[in-house]
Copies of this chain bind each other. A is one copy, B any other.
Amino acid sequence: MTNTLGFGVVGAQFMGKAYAIALKAVPTIYPLSAAPVCEMLATSSADGAAAKARELGFARSTGDWRELVADGAIDVVCVCTPTWLHKEVALAAIAAGKHVLCEKPLAGNAADAREMAEAAERAGVKTLVGFNYAKNPATLLAREIVSSGEIGEVLHFRGAHNEDFLADPDIPIGWRERAATSSHGGALADLGSHIINAAQFICGPIAEVVGQTSIVHPQRPDPKTGALAAVENDDQTSFLAKFACGATGAIEASRVAMGRKMGLTYEITGTKGALVFDQERMAELRLYSAADRAVRRGFRTILIGPEHPEYGAFCPGAGHGFGYNDMIAIEMRDIVEAIAAGRQVWPTFRHGYETARVVDAVLNSVGERRWVRIEETGAEGTP
């Protein structure tokens, strides 16, 4: 490795731009062991890629992601495509010896995710899954508080990732709503992955689940023809979980939750306190501590500041605000430093697989109308 790292980004929609912003900003935010370079952007057309590369500041572009993956100047491949392409691109990148940052959900199902994780592990490349919200200082602080035992043993985790971007039934069908381009999991895989991942990050492994899903708007207009096309995966899902540590959980995901724009929320109840978080107020963590004397107890709102995880690199003043792109910058720092240090950083493809297993287990539980153990799911051949 030289002291630069060439980044190639496949896909230029929502996350493509966020990645580009973060790659430009991050060397000024953190002292880095290597300088990331926006080397190449791939989209589905050469012309589109060229225009987008100019806009986002990539040195080169291509209409064929295989070219990007094969390019000698690329050290890290960022996979920001629709889900169905994740596996193919990532496996090709791994085969070419590249490190890979892949968006969530890691794959359309747990078996594919496992295949990706195993390939990466065999190849020894560094991997990262884009569970960006878990990089938020407030959630990092939540994990610190839970891990330290400050709120005692965890008794219950209630979480959700609710948005309303598909609440309007007239919104045309897209790749997210079709099983072939996305997953048999809809909101569950697309959004639920985030809160499942957060639950695992903070409270440890999930052991079993039972869930229910519903497709609220079963048909949407095709964006080209206007004809109604079938939605093939869940608009909303809720499930119960039992954690390996003994805690219970209740988790939801919805893409039709009117009013929720970034409704990643959780409440963690412990034997000595509780935590409440809402990503829409991402710079706050609410803490209740039984250690306070009785007449002064209450949920306190901690505004994230430089003495909390990560924040200080962005701003020396507490409570001055933390934004969406700031989380992405932390991810970029993570992959850069993982490569530089030769060690994996959380969450790797293996963690992405663990999240995908829960998604699959929930879907199985819906089909079979019973509790499903995670170890029943996607586990064959796990090394």
Binding site for B on A (CB under 8 A): 14, 17-18, 20-21, 24-25, 27-29, 31, 55-57, 151, 155-156, 158, 160, 162-163, 165, 167-169, 210-212, 214, 216, 236, 238-240, 242, 246, 248-250, 252, 254, 256-262, 269-274, 279-284, 286-290, 292, 294-303, 305, 307-308, 314-327, 369-371
Contact = CB atoms under 8 A, between A and B. Distances in A.
Copies in the complex: 4
A303 B287 contact: no
Contact of A259 (B31, B252, B299, B321): B299
Contacts of A254: 155-156, 269
Contact of A324 (B25, B298, B322): B322
A17 B316 CA distance: 10
Contacts of A169: 271
Going nearest first, the 6 A-B pairs with the smallest beta carbon separation are: A323-B323, A261-B319, A259-B288, A300-B300, A298-B300, A25-B25
14 contacts: A17-B28, A24-B25, A151-B258, A158-B160, A261-B303, A279-B321, A280-B303, A281-B284, A282-B321, A297-B300, A300-B300, A321-B323, A321-B326, A323-B324
Contacts of A257: 156, 269, 274
Contacts of A317: 14, 163, 165, 261-262, 324
Q: Which of A14, A258, A298, A301 has the most CB of B within 10 A?
A: A258
A154 to B, nearest CB: 11
A256 to B, nearest CB: 6
B29 A21 contact: yes
Contacts of A165: 317
B238 A212 contact: no
A239 B156 CA distance: 13
A121 B261 CA distance: 44
Contact of A242 (B168, B212, B269, B315): B212
A55 B29 contact: no
B298 A272 contact: no
A101 B299 CA distance: 36
Nearest to A273: B258
